[in-house]
Amino acid sequence: MRILFIGDIVAKPGRDAVKQTLPTLKKDQNIDFVVANAENLAHGRGATVETIREMQTYGVDFFTGGDHLFWHKGFEDQIDGLPLIRPANYPDPTPGEGYSLVQHKNGTNILIINVMGRSAFGGLYHLLDDPFKKFDEVLKKHRNTKIDFVLVDFHGDATSEKIAFAYYLDGRATAVIGTHTHVPTCDQRFLPKGTMFITDIGMTGTIDSVLGVKTQIIINQFLSARNQKFEWEESGQKAFRSVILDTVEKTIVRFDKNI
């Protein structure tokens, strides 16, 4: 099985990068299943039903979320029925599901889990449930279910937390894929007990920006020490960032393309 995982798709440039890259890539690389992080899909923050549907037309099969997922008003009432999960360690009650068992047309069962880290994030994120224990809980719920692959999107800020989490899961998940920072890492590898891991795929969107936001706005933020209103960069060079997980050949390979 060849699974493509696309890092945080940011705003229209990110969606355009998927449009320009994914249909050909899927064919050329014999990709069976595509997962993408959707937390920045619509206007740089959050997702909408329309942008999810748009990505499906280019070939994305399933979506994960993160801290920005519920940004757009009303989206939490529309999440049910979409092929999308949000972090499982949000406290109850939170709309949507934190994991999903997907039956692939080739007959395999793929358990996809999304959790969010609690280290280095500002704001309210220290109030999340423990992502380590949440993973154990989800796996326990499925102990009598036939599962072929377990994919985990760990949406987190601190590299140490992501790496520790991956070792905690080693041998119990097919892959632990890091998202959120928008900056790619080159540490894709197999952990000792066989789990594929990368700290962060990086973002798919305009790289002539600061993590997707217009550069001058973020420079002003640092110069003034005051929060500025974000505007998302629409022009400039784009990047498509992803990893290809091959469960037969036992490889995890970055696929990056500048557009």
Catalytic residues: 68
Q: Shortest distance, CB of residue 179 to Fe ion, whole angstroms? A: 7
Q: Write the binding mask 141 to 160 for Fe ion: x where contact by CB under 5 A, - elsewhere.
A: --------------------
Q: For residue 180, state whether it binds Fe ion (rule: CB under 5 A).
A: yes
Q: Taking the chain, what is the end-to-end CA distance rounded to the nearest angstrom?
A: 27
Of 95, 87, 84, nearest in space to 41 by CA:
84
Closer Cβ to Fe ion, 196 or 213, answer by number? 213
Q: For residue 204, state whether it binds Fe ion (rule: CB under 5 A).
A: no
Closer Cβ to Fe ion, 121 or 197, answer by number? 121
Q: Are 196 and 154 in contact (CB under 8 A)?
A: no
Q: Write the binding mask 57 to 96 for Fe ion: x where contact by CB under 5 A, - elsewhere.
A: ---------xx-----------------------------
Binding window for Fe ion (CB under 5 A); candidates: 73-81, 134-142, 174-182, 193-201: 174-182
Q: For residue 15, state whether it binds Fe ion (rule: CB under 5 A).
A: no
Q: For residue 209, state whether it binds Fe ion (rule: CB under 5 A).
A: no
Q: For residue 8, state whether it binds Fe ion (rule: CB under 5 A).
A: yes
Helix, strand, or coil (residue 134): helix
Peptide bond into 93 cis (omega under 30): yes
Q: For residue 117, state whether it binds Fe ion (rule: CB under 5 A).
A: no
Rounded Cα–Cα distance for residues 140 and 124 (Å):
28
Contact residue for Fe ion among 40, 89, 199, 209 (CB under 5 A): 40
Cα angle 34, 214, 256 (rounded to 5 degrees) comes to 30
Closer Cβ to Fe ion, 8 or 61, answer by number? 8
Q: By CB neighbour count within 10 A (0-12 exposed, 13-18 middle, 19+ buried), where does 92 fall?
A: exposed
Rounded Cα–Cα distance for residues 208 and 160 (Å):
27
Q: Could you tell me the two tokens for 33?
A: 């299943």
Give the count of residues interacting with Fe ion (CB under 5 A): 6
Q: Could you tell me the two tokens for 116?
A: 């969010």
How many residues are present in the chain?
Answer: 259
Binding window for Fe ion (CB under 5 A); candidates: 41-49, 128-136, 161-169, 179-187: 179-187
Contacts with Fe ion by CB under 5 A lie at 8, 39-40, 66-67, 180
